[in-house]
Amino acid sequence: MVVLANQVDQISLLRAPKPDANFSGIPVINLAEAGSVDAMIKACEEFGFFKVINHGVPINIMAKLEEEAVKFFSLPQVEKEKSGPPNPFGYGNKRIGPNGDVGWVEYLLFAVTSKPFSYTSMPFLQEPSASLFRWEEREDIISALNEYISAVRKLASEVLELMAEGLKIEPRNVFSKLVMDEKSDEIFRLNHYPPCPLFQGLNCSLTGFGEHTDPQIISVLRSNNTQGLEIALRDGSWVSVPSDQESFFINIGDSLQVMTNGRFNSVRHRVLANGSKSRVSMIYFGGPPQTERIAPLPQLMGEGEQSLYREFTWEEYKKAAYKSRLADYRLGQFEK
Ligand code: GA4
């Protein structure tokens, strides 16, 4: 009976056919090159998405966290469930968010905080919702998470500063200060898309994580060498992003789209699970403090230009997001 229920789950997530061949047009931004700022702005406008190379984050920090994530996801299901359910933080399996979305994915969601947390070894992470898992005894994954999050948070801030430079607005930290603030609302997510034996060898795939945009300012994603991520281009067509375990992928979130009055595009993306190979991804979501007013920056408004959005705070937007389905166009209700 359990087996049958599992198979029905898989069938309802079935998509045909398998993802198209890799798209070769993903913008690549070389952080070690001075001239990359203009290319970054173009990528934010055209795609809301780009890949970052020469980012300065040591590969071993990425590899270590991947290793620890694989160890966690290989635990027996009952062990993993001790860290769930993910409302909103903790272990989740197949159910995404509170409104009925499902995907062929299991994950861990963490709140990131700059306030010292009671686990001395865990300065950045808040406890997942259930503590039966005894996180305080999992030193290895906790230290890998902390090391990784510190590095990626710094990278997010650097990228946001380059964006301000490219847009020729002052101060340089106009975006980055929002995610670096001690009250900033940051989330970290480890995703595991397991293989799916039922569909191995068939020319089809499963919805791993359905299409959506990220509500925050910026997201920084790193995955292992398994493909699956797709982004929507401005014309609505979907392209497959070639995996690259040594690089990071940057997503523009809805809040940055609003702050640039629609100049930057928050990218719609999704993940297809391919049936035969595990995909592991780790994503940092940089959001502002709850009370922050999200509105177009006056420095970016041309003469007579009107805001496309009515005013709202990050807290309001987040509340609305958690009432929505994954694929909803969440900015719609805030448009003028
Ligand atoms: C999408 C981006 C992040 O993964 C996330 C997701 C969140 C969740 O998984 O709990 C949401 C989704 C995300 C947006 C709409 C709501 C909330 C699931 C969902 C249906 C952690 C986030 O911040 O928003």
**DSSP string across 110-179:** EEE-SSPPSSTT-SSBPPPS--TT-GGG-HHHHHHHHHHHHHHHHHHHHHHHHHHHHTT-SSTTTTHHHH
Going from the Cα of 232 to the center of ligand 1, the distance in angstroms, rounded, reads 18
pLDDT (0 to 100) of residue 115: 46
User: Tokens standing for 66?
Assistant: 């991947």
Going from the Cα of 218 to the center of ligand 1, the distance in angstroms, rounded, reads 13
User: Tokens standing for 147?
Assistant: 């090391």
Would you say the CB of residue 324 lies under 6 angstroms from ligand 1? yes
Closest C-alpha residue for ligand 1 atom 18: 97
Query: Is pLDDT at 27 greater than 60 in this prediction?
Result: yes
- Which atom of ligand 1 is nearest to 187's Cα? 21
pLDDT (0 to 100) of residue 117: 39
pLDDT (0 to 100) of residue 3: 45
**150 or 241: which leads in pLDDT:** 241
**129 or 313: which leads in pLDDT:** 313
Cα-based distances in Å from 158 to 65, 130, 239, 317, 318:
22, 34, 27, 25, 25
Going from the Cα of 94 to the center of ligand 1, the distance in angstroms, rounded, reads 13
Would you say the CB of residue 322 lies under 6 angstroms from ligand 1? yes
278-305: average pLDDT = 97
pLDDT (0 to 100) of residue 10: 62
- Which atom of ligand 1 is nearest to 92's Cα? 9
Going from the Cα of 204 to the center of ligand 1, the distance in angstroms, rounded, reads 26
Going from the Cα of 279 to the center of ligand 1, the distance in angstroms, rounded, reads 19
Going from the Cα of 88 to the center of ligand 1, the distance in angstroms, rounded, reads 9
Read off the DSSP letter of residue 44: H
Alpha carbons within 13 angstroms on the beta-carbon side of residue 180 total: 16
Residue 280 identity: V
- Which atom of ligand 1 is nearest to 326's Cα? 20
Q: pLDDT grade, residue 227 (50/70/90)?
A: very high
Query: Is pLDDT at 116 greater than 60 in this prediction?
Result: no
Query: pLDDT digit string (tens) for 58-105?
Result: 999 999 999 999 999 999 999 999 888 887 788 999 999 999 999 999
pLDDT (0 to 100) of residue 7: 57
Which of 96, 270, 314, 323 has most ligand 1 atoms within 8 Å of its beta carbon, as the pocket-test mutant? 96
Proportion of the chain above pLDDT 70, given as a percent: 87
In a 10 Å sphere around its CB, with 0-12 CB exposed, 13-18 middle and 19+ buried, how is residue 91 labelled? buried
pLDDT (0 to 100) of residue 199: 74
pLDDT (0 to 100) of residue 6: 57
Give the predicted TM-score (pTM) of the model: 0.93
Query: Is pLDDT at 5 greater than 70 in this prediction?
Result: no
For residue 205, the tally of other CB atoms under 10 A from its CB is: 22
**35 or 62: which leads in pLDDT:** 62
pLDDT (0 to 100) of residue 257: 98
Proportion of the chain above pLDDT 90, given as a percent: 72
Q: In the chain, at which residue ranges do the beta strands (DSSP E only) sit?
A: 14-15, 28-30, 49-53, 90-96, 101-112, 184-193, 205-212, 218-223, 229-232, 238-240, 248-252, 269-273, 279-289, 293-294, 312-313
What does the angle CA 330 – CA 334 – CA 336 come to, to the nearest 5 degrees? 135
Query: Is pLDDT at 122 greater than 80 in this prediction?
Result: no
pLDDT (0 to 100) of residue 132: 60
295-323: average pLDDT = 96
